[in-house]
Structure 1
């Protein structure tokens, strides 16, 4: 380095008769204190390709386009101006291909109609359309004049539509269950206690045991369902939702006003109903 020169004057430059592209890049890399691995990491060019470029072997770049790109990024990484190197590459490899303008190609393939020659195909199509239109108008328009009511008078579909629809037979309503009568109450055995439970307004959990404590029923009674229990001496009940229950004991209805959600523990024996 001479006194008075700037650091930029010491960077390698490409002269007319200077070193090759690979040699110039290698000298610039060494002058910048960079290794091949560091150049590869900076440019994202694989290490074997970096070595090949420094040896002026561009066959591993994959084509002229990739070679120019690698030269450009390599030069920028080591502080060289890439334009002279890319120009030198083009000179050494036949120069850049000149793009072919697209307009002349399309112009040469364009088919131009001769204005002096009549288009007989279009004329024939137009004539056929006119004939078809005239025939259709005659068949569907003119042929029905003077006979507007014939289809209405003679059409079989009109006769079908005039017939009244047949009534659909209605199903008979199911018979209502008979209410408990005096004879049913009288049929209850006198030597046993009989309890009938019906869930009328809502479901309710029911538990029923005989006089020995044996379980007769323990479960959920859905709305509309009923259960009947008998024992020789006593029936113990637990009603989980007493307000939803209708209760008959020994054929007689229990008129106690239980509330919805109320839990009741009841016991009944032979004879008149008695709440235990």
Structure 2
């Protein structure tokens, strides 16, 4: 069905044309609303030429276009008729002056702090490198000052392992021995090379010390008269009596029974 070619007096209104075409197509308002997603009250209002519920001329043109296509009408004559009856389509506002104004307006340039920081770092690195280079050039004792660019520093003298002497163990000083009480017997036992079992009693048989001495541990025992000492694994023990070392206590794995009094250990 086509309209627009009939005389003005015989041409139906936009709403009447849409309603007639819908009825001719055998469609209900609900079906047209489902197809176009235009709400049913608005479809009824448009068919009565009431476009106030469309929300404006732009939405009214869109609804006319959708309803016309749903009932197989050409929407262009209906939209032209709507524009003629409602003051015509507004002329578009030229946008060029707006763009020109935006183009003329310029923002002030901000300082580039990143570039400034990079330049400062480069200057500092260059100054440090120049200082190091000039400092090395002034030293007269190095290979660079002598003019030989390929010269290498002389290696440090190495010593053969056989010529290196182990550090001597400090002997107890006379002052240390003199510091021990003269009226007592003092024994210091150290498990130097392994663990050892020790037992110590006084002259009356009273137990002064008894237990396992782990490697690296030491025990110091004193008595007024005499100390009777039993050492297990005697070869692993370092023994001091009254501040003097007993050079040979025994062999490893053996049990030694020793007795010491006041004075020199050899006198015990």
Q: Same fold (TM over 0.5)?
A: no
The structure number with the bigger radius of gyration is 2
- Give me the TM-score of the superposition, normalised by structure 1: 0.37
